[in-house]
Amino acid sequence: MILSNIEMQKAIDERRLIITPDPQPRTPEHHDCPYDTTAVDLHLANALAVPQPGPYTFDLRKKGGIAAFLAKNSKQIIIPEEGYALKQGQFTLGTTVERVTLPLLPDGKSLAARIEGKSSLARCGLLVHFTAPTVHAGFDGTLTLEMINLGVVDISLFPGMAIAQLILEAVMGDTEANPSQFQGQSTPAGT
């Protein structure tokens, strides 16, 4: 079951969902309200990790080590105020400003989420977080965004722009902790 905007706000008030900073304003009378009927906007942080070509390969059969590999083989960029031009066909990793925490709670009160791109950006050719949208119950950290420009022109990325949306879902029953390798991440590479 997907949570409505009102139910998301109740979950925040009950600490079943923690988004830092807290999305404001909460009411749609405000032009800049981040809540849609069934999603809340997330914003692009000021750092990007741009994977660099090189004479290396990554063996995807190996467990873990993805974050370290990406950090080692990516150019770290701080987005200037005038924006970062994502070139046609270019892939980059970003992260959300918001830290999302989905506490494990008893009695079926836990939440999970999906992070999805925004249709307004997709119409320009910008795919945001186009794979693995699940944010599991128990996750705590910023969310890494896989972004690629499939459009016909460069697209400017700005720190603080609404870049993705979070959709919350109820988890049926109790859960057992199984933290991912990206638990607590705070960089685009996942470290």
Convert the pLDDT of each residue in 74-127 to its tens digit. 999 999 999 999 999 999 999 999 999 999 999 889 999 999 999 999 999 999
Comparing 73 with 152, the larger pLDDT belongs to 152
Whole-number pLDDT of residue 64? 62
Q: Which of 111, 166, 119 is nearest to 143 (CA)?
A: 166
Cβ burial of 103 (10 Å; 0-12, 13-18, 19+) is middle
Residue 27 structure tokens: 């009411």
**Residue 146 annotated among the catalytic residues of the structure:** yes
From residue 55, alpha-carbon distances to 58, 60, 70, 119 in Å are 10, 16, 14, 36
Catalytic residue among 82, 146, 169, 176: 146
Greatest Cα-to-Cα distance within the chain, rounded to the nearest angstrom:
53
Distance CA 91, CA 51 (A): 7
Comparing 182 with 40, the larger pLDDT belongs to 40
Whole-number pLDDT of residue 181? 65
pTM of the predicted model as reported, rounded to 2 decimal places: 0.89
Whole-number pLDDT of residue 187? 74
pLDDT in tens, 21-57: 999 999 888 778 999 999 999 999 999 999 998 888 8
Mean pLDDT of the chain: 91
